[in-house]
Structure 1
């Protein structure tokens, strides 16, 4: 699934050494670089942060003008009328698909260090389009630095336009980080918990635990998981030109000053389907299960997201036997040449139109009557093949 801010820089820009926290990295001179490559990125502030173009939901051109602590979208030609956004141009602290900032190690959510980590930044908005302005904070059950996180994607939406809405459905409202937030929950192969400010804001100064503690209490996240990155930027479906991020910082011992409200943007009467993950998922490095005995499982399939040229499929494996499985495997044949681009919570291998997906080490054992899920990003027209499940 995803994924991710402060008012006009002249008013409340944050610099190194400001009261309220020890800045983990200090601003340097601006790089003033234009990025138009699909996955183009660069390390800034001596490698303390990464700025990335991150166009993953379209083949159309997107360009950003970057500085040492922010960027502006100068061209955004992609238009997705439904399904996934076109991109997530953003600043990153941590690891994004093994592209890591200086000396970063994933931080366990139960640690005292995690309780001190915060962030602040500034957002500038345009007058239309379909987009969100959001933080995207990622968590994984392991201290991983590469690939798709499978724990939780915590999104903090400061603003939205054109009817954009998060994955899933609204499950509550909470007051934290200087504002009131609608809480949304969904699943894209991992839990997606989105906090959408009820009144739009142009800035934020918060601790990650302000939101993550609430997600844990709701049962959507776990203290045993590791935070792998903090990202901030925009998810445009269309009309993203002019959106800008500045003053991005990750802080330690920050006060969590809250948000700076701004008049809400005028939403157009267009409501795209739910948000897709802000980075394409990747396959876990494991071998498919080899259970070939009497069937002890069944598998059901559904398409959770679609966009031009691809879709997200989700498979639920249920143990129908009398004891826990040692491994499981699901086989199917695509009807029209679809291709698995990547998968999560399973190891998938495709030969021609035939696909075999097996368990990973952590989800091989499924208790009797229980189930587990895996997902995949697929290239081609949306399809629902017939599945065969085997287990041992």
Structure 2
């Protein structure tokens, strides 16, 4: 019954979020399945509830660009989910002349999460995370290497491993809810330090890495795109 109530609340909040002039209407696609997936415009939108101890989360989407979740994850440690929109690049770094992305999000002022890109290379051997904002008790994997201005922003750069792959994290030194990132410049900055070679860039994802959102919180991508 509690789960049913949560689902009802999620639907109501989604309708309110999407409605214009107070008129609620349904999203083009929605799912409360932990692995719920929808393809649109060459992108894939995923609910992606993967962490242990996760609560309820419902995803909605009008397009790959405009989507969001209502999430009610407990106030415990560890990432619970990473709802996101993704585009497969599948090109060598040396063959890319452009890889940039623009975004605009709405996010809660409580909870614990990061709004982040997650870019994979060489068949998941390398993970590049680009945090645009963060809230609450969250932090990157590894140790801080330096502060760098690259890709149109200034970051604290971390390097480490999650036990399965190398992780490079770029944490923006101040939070922002919108902007454009020159992702290719970030990827080449890593290469210039010898941390990897001419890797094949795979899935480029953007979304919300949620650790906790107790009581239920709304996260929304108002717009998002990747340009190559």
Contact 1:212–1:221 under 8 Å retained in 2: no
For 1:139 and 1:246, locate their aligned partners in 2 and report how far apart those are by CA, in whole Å.
27
| 8 Å contact from structure 2 (residues 36, 48) kept in 1 | yes
* 1:79/1:86 contact within 8 Å kept: no
Q: Deviations over 1:145-181 (max 9, x none)?
A: xxxx12x111110000113111111110101232211
Equivalent of 1:244 in 214, 220, 225: 220
- Structure with bigger helix share is 2
Greater RCO, 1 or 2 (C-alpha within 8 Å, sep 6+): 2
Structure 2 distance, partners of 1:237, 1:80, is 8
Deviation at 1:108, TM superposition (A): 0.5
Is the CA contact (8 Å cut-off) linking 1:134 and 1:232 kept in structure 2? Answer: yes
2:108 pairs with 1:107 = no
Rounded to whole Å, the distance in 2 between the matches of 1:131 and 1:206 is 20
Equivalent residue for 2:67?
Answer: 71
Which of 74, 99, 109 matches 1:117?
Answer: 99
Q: Does 1:55 align with 2:37?
A: no
Shift of 1:80: 5.9
Give the TM-score, by structure 2 length: 0.81
Q: CA RMSD in A?
A: 1.8
Structure 1: stretches of 5+ with no match in the other structure: 1-29, 95-103, 253-392
Counterpart Cα distance in 2 of 1:66 and 1:204? 21
Structure 2 equivalent of residue 137 of structure 1:
119
Distance 2:75 2:201 in 1: 30
Name the SS of the counterpart of 2:196 in structure 1: coil
What residue in structure 2 maps to residue 43 of structure 1?
A: 39
1:93 lines up with 2:87 in the alignment: yes
For residues 220-369 of structure 1, the aligned pairs below 5 Å read 220-223=195-198, 225-239=199-213, 241-252=217-228
With normalisation by structure 1, the TM-score equals 0.48
* Contact 1:115 1:208 (8 Å CA) reproduced: no
Q: Displacement, 1:73?
A: 1.6
Deviation at 1:31, TM superposition (A): 5.2
Post-superposition offset of 1:66:
1.3
Other-structure match for 2:148: 174
Residues 30-69 of structure 1 deviation map (CA, whole Å, 9 limit, x = unaligned): 9532211010100113xx1111100000352211221212
